[in-house]
Amino acid sequence: MLKRLIYMHIDSPVLLVNPRLENLSTEMFELWDDCFSFPHFLVKVRRHNSCRIVFRDLDWREHSLDASFTMSELLQHECDHLDGILAVERAIDGRSFAYRSERAFVEP
Ligand SMILES: [Zn+2]
C-alpha cells in the first residue's frame, strides 16, 4: 500500500503518515511563501487561515491537529507537495514572484 509522508521537526520530530486536510476555513490570508525546492524565490499565495490535519503515526494510530496561520500554511504547502503541486502554481497573479538575495528582498 502506498503511503504519503510528511516529516517535520518543529520542537521535536513528527512523522505524518497519509495526512489529509479537513475543515479548511473559508477565510484566506496572503503571504510570501518560500520553499526548499527554490530557495531564493518567493511566491505570494493565498492559504486558508486554519485547517485540521488528520494523519496516522507509525503504529497506525489516527491523530488530528488543528492549525492556524503559520502552521496551517505550512501544512497546506506540504500537502500540496504530496499532490505534486508547487507554490508557484498557487501564485495569486503575475506580480506574485520575488527574489530574495542575502542583502535584499526584491518585489516586482
Ligand atoms: Zn516546499
Active site residues per annotation: 78
pLDDT at 108: 65
Decide if 77 contacts 35 (C-beta within 8 A): yes
In the chain, the largest separation of any two C-alpha atoms, in whole Å, equals 48
- Ligand 1 centroid vs 38 CA: distance in angstroms? 8
Residues with CB under 5 A from ligand 1 (ion): 35
In tens digits, the chain (108 residues) has pLDDT values of 789 999 999 889 999 999 999 999 999 999 999 999 998 999 999 999 999 999 999 999 999 999 999 999 999 999 999 999 999 999 999 999 999 876 666 666
- Ligand 1 centroid vs 25 CA: distance in angstroms? 21
Domains of the chain: 5-106 (3.90.45.10)
Decide if 108 contacts 92 (C-beta within 8 A): no
- Ligand 1 centroid vs 103 CA: distance in angstroms? 22
Going by C-alpha positions, the residue among 96, 52, 58 that lies closest to residue 75 is: 52
